[in-house]
Amino acid sequence: GPGDRRSVSSALHIAPMIDVTDRHFRYLIRCISPLPTLWSEMTWDRAILFNSPDEPEHAQNKSPPRALESIIGFSAQEHPIVMQLGGANPDTLARAARIAERRGYDEINLNCGCPAATRGRARNNYGARLMFDPPLVAACCAAIIAAVSIPVSVKCRLGVDERDSYEELVEFVTTVAGAGVNHFIVHARKAILGLDTVKNRSVPPLRHEWVFRLRAAFPELRFTINGGITSLEAAQQLIDDGMDGVMIGRRANAEPYMFARAGGVFEGAGGPPTRQQVLERYLEYARRAQAENWDDKLPEQVA
């Protein structure tokens, strides 16, 4: 059954980051190391459906249509790769997940961690706001699991606004695991919905110990810890201490070459490539990516 699906990923993950982890950044990481599991930027379920000719939403698209490949495309070298979806509707999430699976993604993840805006156009029910409603998250995950045969995981925070007790976090994990999710990636801070995304990475206190408590309370599930992890040594230490996986975010953006040593610190690949080798590999990729216009942008916008 769905509970038996083992994740294809390694223990080391690079976090989904808006405007960072597009296919070009992910390929740069692959020029540096085969090891980390790569994640898409959070991708709205409706962005996929509105640009999929076979889906009913395609006819309702009022924006200029985009090539689906410019939204969900990736290079074969990027495996293992996770598609992170944003949304809160079981039906649209399930159909978007099916399209991502067909495109070759190795895992589907539901975003329950981004601090959704509290006002304005971006005030949608997605990300950390979903933590207020564990049964809805369970329904979304059940629909995705029924639609695909690849693993399905959830990325969440410790809590959201006033729903921030350890007991409520346990209730969230219990409810969502009941739908068949067996891998939780936990950003070890709560989300404060009135704060911007930058402050949400620093103002709420970091509580790695809560994720270790979950680890002990749910031995049948897998937990990957995220938040404030700035080196491969720190990542390895968390795994030695019992975590199933570790996710690195901003540090990966600031210093992608840190992963050159991943093969030495973690099991896996041999000696690190030099910076020169990385650049040569990446230049070869860039020539191809620009010629084939993978972003569906005009050359003058890319130059």
Is 60 exceeded by the pLDDT of residue 3? no
Q: Determine the pLDDT at residue 122.
A: 47
Q: Specify the pLDDT at position 165.
A: 98
Are the C-beta atoms of 225 and 186 separated by less than 8 Å? yes
Give 24: exposed, middle or buried? Use CB within 10 Å, 0-12, 13-18, 19+: middle
Does the pLDDT at position 9 exceed 90? Answer: no
- Please, which pLDDT band fits residue 8 given cuts at 50, 70 and 90? very low
Pick the more confident residue, 6 or 157: 157
Is there a catalytic annotation at residue 114? yes
State residue 274's pLDDT score: 93
Torsion of CA 153, 156, 159, 163, to 10 degrees: -60
Cβ neighbours for 259, distance < 8 A, ≥ 6 positions apart: 14, 29, 32, 33, 35, 36, 232, 252
| Alpha carbons within 13 A on the beta-carbon side of 278 | 21
Helix 166-177 vs helix 208-217: crossing angle, to nearest 10: 50
Which residue in 112, 114, 140, 156 is the catalytic one? 114
Q: Contact 242/209 with Cβ under 8 angstroms?
A: no
- pLDDT of residue 25 exceeding 80, the answer is yes
Question: 219: pLDDT confidence band, cut at 50, 70 and 90?
Answer: very high
| pLDDT of the residue at 101 | 98
What is residue 270's predicted lDDT score, i.e. its pLDDT? 62
Give residue 124's pLDDT band: very low, low, confident or very high (50, 70, 90): confident
Radius of gyration of the chain (CA): 19
